[in-house]
Chains A and B, each alone.
Chain A
């Protein structure tokens, strides 16, 4: 009994933190319709800034509780000010861009902030001081409970209450709620959205910063906090309903409690197996999200969002023209003779490019012809890689089987993920794909005995006949080339036509009896298979794999490749993969801060081509036609 109470309190403390991060994200989305990827980075910055302030002026400097709590508030305000600055300098320019580009831009911010933190605070974990006067624990029903956690239990509802007052008892709050519902109408009534957006973004960022700063006595400041937190926040926001503050509170409470009980219960016996519930906390979150989204696709307290365009841009052309065919043959021919003329290092780089080209092509199929956004495409790549590696390492199968088994594993993953995903659209879909990828990542990351955990798997070598780089290059060339060619053929097959028809006019498809959800589900499985094939080839080309093959950064790389090349052209992802892979290779070799540079490139791309490069090219083309 008393342990149940303690776990409940633990859950409340966790829920408080979850709420603080998620509510800012939800608030920002509600008003600006921007899904702010950098929200986790603001949280992380909150911890680091609070660490610097408090360890200097606060407890260490002898200021006592005032210094500690003041430091936390100042940290939140610093992060809020940074949020305002980012909104004014960057986001203001892209409110009319397709949501994909907005997400990408905020991901660019993630990369820049990460490298800034690395530069300013260094790579080591930093453990902050304890809260003065709250360092001990209190006895609750005979069990100790940390005083600071008890304080957190109250801080969450306190912030909720203050936010409620701000939104319901001030003119500013009324305008925010009006703009959340119908910002165009609010504008027609004379509400200046510009400053409203800036203020909301600053408030949301400050809340994230506050959530982070409050963690100072509980966990060290670490460089990877941003991604973990953003995944949690996405789940909470999606479960609660995007833009709904009570929803965020409710979802944070549910998820916080479930996590706490999973951790608290620990090992349980099940049909003779011992299952560690504490290791499955992230999966618990996912199960909650999956159930909620199936029953209420807009979250517990959310409401339906209007249909949103993924990305503007030219549609598919009917078929390749003569010039294009010749160009493709020329490139294929050049690639075929490469091993005879190129350096070994170039061959290794070319294998990477081929693998990523197939990976990006599979994402392009999903985003272009199928019209579905995926922000977690690396899930299938990683499943393919791990599937293949595990078949070799654990099942002892020959490499040839593993190469076929990897894509199969990815396809299985896509069957499950896709089933949920096709029920949603727009931002919800993007967030769900991201959450699935993050879940796959955390399972692989935490399951030490089976997947090797954070170390990954080593010694995943190809069969002897493929041991030479040249032989492996031809294997990759053949498989990736065929994969890309097949994907392109499918776009123009009857299935592809139906899929594209569904993308362009779901209602009419419904009317003529096309089961669009089923077609889209099939699309997920199809692209999952090809992404998995890319992953399997990747595993054998490197000889080792790590959880990074499922990570968000790789998903974003794929998106950048597709958007670089153009969302509605089949050659786009190939060009994009070549450019980005080459660029990364060059950048990584020349600077320690390659992430910041990549982030800056992404931001610059979005600013220069707010409608996407393809859209830009189409407009240029249309203009030259008209002239």
Chain B
């Protein structure tokens, strides 16, 4: 079976600055894949290139059998690729429910579909917050809201940019449980992380990115066994 999401020879620029060099990665259906790398390695840029926010200058991205690298973000999102940015980008002028409403898309065939009740089960903290302005949420709640908002689009695959960043340890555990829950629903998850423990808790496979190039590609077990790779490319 072909992978759900695959990128080949992906290159991306910010203005004149060449950031991604021939990045290649894959995520199969129901798989959790983690993108590891130091600050500024290009993890966020990779995810942005996949969702179309930083249109790739070269390379190809295939999602569910369809080329998406020339599409606009909204077209990509409507095909079932969800994206949760690093800085969450909650609509702080809107209430919690309105934020979720913005993400709502029609249900898709063969893809887990989400309702408010299901989202509240995933993130119980959100349950009582419906009419609160999103601006009043704590960092952890905002992260949950950002994910809930994207799930409301019923994606087949979700891109999570550093979901554990800046969160209290309890919340990080909750987040890890949520990722595994999404996986058990049948969702593919591609996340970027600097927190190796978080990655180890949720991921099946890992890529390590360094200066915009993929330096390692293997299962979590292989990564765990390879001290050299970890000390060379990750800030441990």
Contact = CB atoms under 8 A, between A and B. Distances in A.
Q: Do A and B bind each other?
A: yes
Interface of A: 171, 174-175, 177-178, 180-182, 184-193
A192 B91 contact: no
Interface string B87-112: 00101111000110111110000000
A571 B179 CA distance: 60
Contacts of A177: 91, 93-94, 98
B127 interface: no
Contact of A191 (B89, B102, B150): B102
Interface string B130-153: 000000000000000000011001
Given A171-B101, A174-B102, A178-B102, A188 B91 contact: no
A186 to B, nearest CB: 6
B51 interface: yes
A244 to B, nearest CB: 10
A264 B72 CA distance: 56
B92 A187 contact: no
B102 A189 contact: yes
Given A177-B94, A180-B93, A187 B102 contact: no
Given A175-B102, A185-B89, A190 B74 contact: yes
A188 B93 contact: no
Contacts of A193: 74
Closest 8 CB pairs of A and B: A190-B77, A185-B89, A187-B73, A178-B102, A188-B73, A187-B74, A190-B78, A178-B91
Contacts of B93: 177, 180-181
- Among B51, B89, B150, chain A packs the most CB atoms within 10 A around the CB of B89
A188 B74 contact: yes
B53 interface: yes
B207 interface: no
Contact of A186 (B72, B102, B105): B102
B30 interface: no
B85 to A, nearest CB: 7
A180 B91 CA distance: 9
B63 interface: no
B72 A187 contact: yes
Contacts of B102: 174-175, 178, 186, 189, 191
Given A187-B72, A190-B74, A192-B74, A181 B103 contact: no
Given A185-B89, A190-B74, 9 more contacts: A174-B101, A178-B98, A178-B99, A188-B52, A189-B77, A190-B78, A190-B153, A192-B74, A193-B74
Contacts of A191: 74, 102
Contacts of A189: 74, 77, 83, 102-103, 149-150, 153
Contacts of A186: 91, 102
Contact of A174 (B73, B74, B98): B98
Contacts of B53: 184, 188
A188 B83 contact: yes
Most buried by A among B74, B83, B149: B74
A190 B94 contact: no
A190 B85 contact: no
B214 to A, nearest CB: 24
A188 B73 CA distance: 5
Nearest to A303: B93
B161 to A, nearest CB: 11
A174 B51 CA distance: 23
Nearest to B84: A188
Nearest to A173: B98
Contacts of B73: 184, 187-188
A190 B72 CA distance: 10
11 contacts: A171-B101, A177-B98, A178-B102, A184-B73, A185-B91, A186-B102, A187-B73, A188-B77, A188-B83, A189-B77, A189-B103
A185 B85 contact: yes
Contacts of B150: 189
A174 B94 contact: yes
B47 to A, nearest CB: 10
A78 B73 CA distance: 33
A24 B103 CA distance: 26
A198 to B, nearest CB: 14
Interface string B54-92: 000000000000000000111001100001010001011
Nearest to A191: B74
Contacts of A180: 93
Contacts of A187: 72-74, 77
Contacts of A178: 91, 94, 98-99, 102
B35 to A, nearest CB: 18
A186 B74 CA distance: 8
A236 to B, nearest CB: 21
A190 B82 CA distance: 9
Contacts of A182: 89, 91
B137 to A, nearest CB: 15
Contacts of B105: 190
Contacts of B77: 187-190
Contacts of B51: 188
Nearest to A171: B101
A180 B98 CA distance: 14
Interface string B17-61: 000000000000000000000000000000000011100000000
A192 B74 CA distance: 6
A193 B75 CA distance: 11
A116 to B, nearest CB: 34
Interface string B194-232: 000000000000000000000000000000000000000
A174 B98 CA distance: 7
B103 to A, nearest CB: 5
